[in-house]
Structure 1
């Protein structure tokens, strides 16, 4: 098959893990404590992927300056997108007594979905670029994407479901993100063949910046609300899992 098609398939596979997590959360009544533990584990996986796969690869490819610009850019875009959600009432972390808990639950789910899109698209582009020059897909990167995407989909949909969102909305959101991931991987392979190392570094680092901002702003605070003392341990376990996968890959 054409290489860009192969890239699209791999990108869709990574994004499809979000849908898998969504399916679990939709059809299985997962206790909120379990969701929190899974979210903390996923945060650790994402931290390791950002540090050892994305940032390291970006710096080696295009240098420190391009990496720093992309990293900060990804974080800024995520924070701005999250601020827009807050202005529209999607998040009420410090809600008053007359603000429903459902708003907070839906808001955290929406924030995670935004983060998944902002880190998923550059991640998928990276997967597509990894096939250029006859190289295979980055197995460690793909594994980290899949391992982290399942908890993202599960934890986000759990909040959306409790907030009363229907199946059409929930699976429409995650299905669209999965398709966007596949398209991004295909386009990355088609359009970035011969692109400058600095551009590749910026794109790669954007994903890392969005990931870290989402972890700090959404995943860890939401996990700690329920998991409390277990949050640090679960996050550490996720980080170690991704680190081992990266080293063995």
Structure 2
């Protein structure tokens, strides 16, 4: 039971960055270029975490084939779900400009955006919980990577929601719920995978990695490039190297 609570606590810590970012994005008029730059940095951080904490770890524990199958499955599942939600108004849920539709422009888009935010956050949180299974201690790099990347996600999305005319109750209620769901997902990642065969655990880790990598390409990089453009690559590399440095310190 204590392990479940610890996993849930770390999931809440990582997920709380979404709420922090949303508060800043909704209450403060952050320049779009700055939002894009922070999103590029967060993308780099997550890319590093996927590479060194998820895919590499899955390969060490289960080999190439389960890692590839898991990553492809995660990418396919995320893509299918994202396509469905995009058609219902969640396509630009992480965009900070005026791309998000209002409820008047597309009925049901608010629900689709909420489900999209949940879709984006669940794989990350499951990985946070599962990272406790190896040696009983959560991966500091995983938590740091998710936290750092969640701040610009919440910031950008909430800024776009404000521009689309969505009220404070909807925005803060949504991100509070997603933060709570992050804690629950981390608990599920720990509880459901606790007795799993190492190969199964590695495959699921790769699946989460594939889903996160697809999310970065589909939702985070487009927002980063939309305004940062010439600086996107440089800022992304800075985020990648920051997370990589944390990996080396942990090892």
Following superposition of structure 1 onto structure 2, how do residues 97-176 of structure 1 map, counting pairs within 5 Å?
A: 102=98, 104-106=99-101, 117-118=118-119, 120-132=121-133, 135-176=136-177
Cα deviation code 1:25-74 (max 9, x no counterpart): 12211011111111111111111111111111111222222221221122
Change beyond 3 A, Cα 1:37–1:114: farther
In the alignment, does 2:63 pair up with 1:59? no
Which residue of structure 2 aligns with residue 22 of structure 1?
22
Q: Normalising to structure 2: TM-score of the pair?
A: 0.85
Which residue of structure 2 aligns with residue 5 of structure 1?
5
Following superposition of structure 1 onto structure 2, how do residues 181-196 of structure 1 map, counting pairs within 5 Å?
A: 181-196=182-197
Change beyond 3 A, Cα 1:228–1:203: same
Q: Distance in 2 between matches of 1:150 and 1:113?
A: 17
Which residue of structure 1 aligns with residue 107 of structure 2?
none
CA contact (8 A) 1:122 1:207 kept: yes
CA contact (8 A) 1:112 1:218 kept: no
1:166 Cα deviation after fit: 1.5
Q: Distance in 2 between matches of 1:149 and 1:110?
A: 20
Q: Distance in 2 between matches of 1:61 and 1:119?
A: 25
Change beyond 3 A, Cα 1:112–1:153: farther
CA contact (8 A) 2:12 2:183 kept: yes
Q: Distance in 2 between matches of 1:239 and 1:26?
A: 27
Change beyond 3 A, Cα 1:162–1:114: same
Following superposition of structure 1 onto structure 2, how do residues 220-231 of structure 1 map, counting pairs within 5 Å?
A: 220-231=221-232
Q: Normalising to structure 1: TM-score of the pair?
A: 0.86
Which residue of structure 1 aligns with residue 178 of structure 2?
177
Unaligned runs of 5+ in 1: 93-100
Q: Distance in 1 between matches of 2:244 and 2:82?
A: 29
